[in-house]
Structure 1
Amino acid sequence: MSSDDPRTVAETYFRAWKERDFTTLRGILADDATFRGPLGAADDGEACVKGLEGMAQILDDIVVQHVFVDGPDVLTWFDLHATVAPPAPTANWQHIENGRITRIRVTFDPRALTSD
């Protein structure tokens, strides 16, 4: 698989986020990458990295359960382990073009992370 392969790009994203390697993360995000999720939104690659840096503050582990690939789209089903809440089953849908992530959509139940 080449570095342009969507599955490889998605694996790099999760590995870099878990290792807090934000330089690698930025390198696989398109400049105009967008993010939408229950805790926020971002409209360019820099803002996406800033959001991932914020989540990394409470990130304990990412346990991937399954990866679905459909052409340029990759859906990763994983358990998001945070230091402040029980693991959250999470779906992350990425659209990848020319080896770069252009769109990220995430869904999970954020109540344990946002409750007082």
Structure 2
Amino acid sequence: MSDTDALALVDAYLGAIAKRDFDAARGYLSDTDFRYVSPIGKYDDADVFISNIERIGPILVKMETRFRSVQGSRVAHFLDVTVSIAEYVTYRSAQLTEVANGRITRMEVIFDASDYQRMFGE
């Protein structure tokens, strides 16, 4: 997969998440080789991951890309993610995504999850 294809795939996935189109987002994830790691969870099953994202989706207000870079099958995004917890709060996050065979196989996301953990008790 070319750099351009990997970037377009990950951008399309993030666009689907931003629109809360979780069915479309699921279509970008690998069915058999998937791994997600962040301060709020680890998932090896794309369906379970999307179910969790759907659960917290209502707090997502907007997501803006500050910077992105691609090197082969690896795509990095720096994002501003605005959520509504008690008030609107914008968090900076970094996401490293790996693509194989036209699907997302790995995502590692780094952000300050302290408010999320207080809200959901995780």
Q: Which stretches in structure 1 are left out of the alignment for 5+ residues?
A: none
Could you list the per-position Cα deviations for residues 64-116 of structure 1 after superposition, in whole angstroms to 9, with x for gaps in the alignment? Answer: 10111011000110011101152110001110012100011000011233336
CA shift at 1:8, angstroms? 0.6
Greater alpha carbon shift after TM alignment, 90-99 vs 45-54: 45-54
Q: Which residue of 2 aligns with 1:36?
A: 37
Letter in 1 for 2:80: D
Q: Which residue of 2 aligns with 1:115?
A: 118
Distance of 2:41 and 2:84 partners within structure 1:
19
Q: How many residues align?
A: 114
Q: Which residue of 1 aligns with 2:109?
A: 106
Q: Which residue of 2 aligns with 1:11?
A: 11
Equivalent residues of 1:33, 1:48 under 8 A apart: no
CA shift at 1:55, angstroms? 2.8
TM-score, length-normalised on structure 1?
0.90
Q: Which residue of 2 aligns with 1:79?
A: 80
Query: How many percent of aligned residue pairs carry the same amino acid?
Result: 29
Q: Which structure features the higher share of helix residues?
A: 2
Distance of 1:67 and 1:46 partners within structure 2:
26
Q: Which structure features the higher share of strand residues?
A: 1
Q: Secondary structure at the match of 2:76?
A: strand
Letter in 2 for 1:74: V
Aligned residues: CA RMSD = 1.7
